[in-house]
Amino acid sequence: TVTLYPTVRAVRHTQDASIQPLCIGVCFSGTLPRHLVHSVVPIQISVSIAEEYSSFTTPVIESLALDGYPTSEGSISENVAAVSDSGHELEPYNRHVDIPITFLPLPSDFNPTDSCHWSRLLEQIQRWLVNIPSDSQHWTWGRDAFWYAFVATYPDFPSGSWLTWDARIPLQGRFIEQWLED
């Protein structure tokens, strides 16, 4: 068990606060004997919040299969899927599997308190995002990452001054829509 402490931010014009999303990577050390792998390997992940907060908020797990992650060998399965507790397939991960995420990992000298670093990251994400298929799961995830970086670069958005972004990136996604409501 690992305990994480995400950033909590005040919600503008209210007495409320919101827990900021976490991006957590799960890697697997070692290898599996091929004869044990039957197209998919189920992974169980649990997230909980302290009981005193549970009546106010609920953790939601979103997943993105990093099929483009560099490996020494090809993938055994071309159709990896997420399956719910009831056994229903949630989302196939077999499309656009070879899209490298060129702006990750962040440079070791990335300073999250420096708006210039965020501005550079924002440019990299935008360049990457407008060049990948918009129907891929990478695109949806990348759009959200773009808006996180945009707000980190321009924290007063939509007030203040900010550079125009590429029109192919819509002002959509839970984070940015919530940001604009606050």
Q: Which pLDDT tens digit goes with each residue over 106-138?
A: 888 999 999 899 999 999 999 999 988 888 878
Average of per-residue pLDDT values in the chain: 80
Residue 88 has pLDDT above 70, yes or no: no
Q: Identify whether the C-beta of residue 73 lies closer than 8 Å to the C-beta of residue 41.
A: no
Specify the pLDDT at position 118: 94
Residue 94 has pLDDT above 50, yes or no: no
